Amino acid sequence: MITVTKPYPKEFRDDVVRVARNREPGVGLEQIAMDFGVHFTTRIAG
């Protein structure tokens, strides 16, 4: 069975992208994804 989830709201996606682009040196995308409660391979950008 395949589970299809609803798209993330635009505001949420914008926040994730903003944080990822402005992250401090040494902070990986894996950590940012974990902080937002999404899996690292989740496609956020629409």
The token pair at 10 is 């635009």
For the chain, the domain total comes to 1
For the question of whether the overall pTM of this predicted structure is more than 0.85, the answer is no
Q: Mind spelling out the 3-state secondary structure of 10-43?
A: HHHHHHHHHHHHCCCCCCCHHHHHHHHCCCCCCC
Query: Is pLDDT at 46 greater than 70 in this prediction?
Result: no
**Taking a C-beta distance cutoff of 8 angstroms, is the pair 13, 45 a contact?**
yes
**Taking a C-beta distance cutoff of 8 angstroms, is the pair 30, 42 a contact?**
no
Q: What is the pLDDT of residues 8-44, one digit of tens each?
A: 899 999 999 999 999 999 999 999 999 999 888 877 6
Specify the length of the chain in residues: 46
Domain that holds residue 39: 1-46
**Spacing of C-alpha 44 from chain mean position:** 5
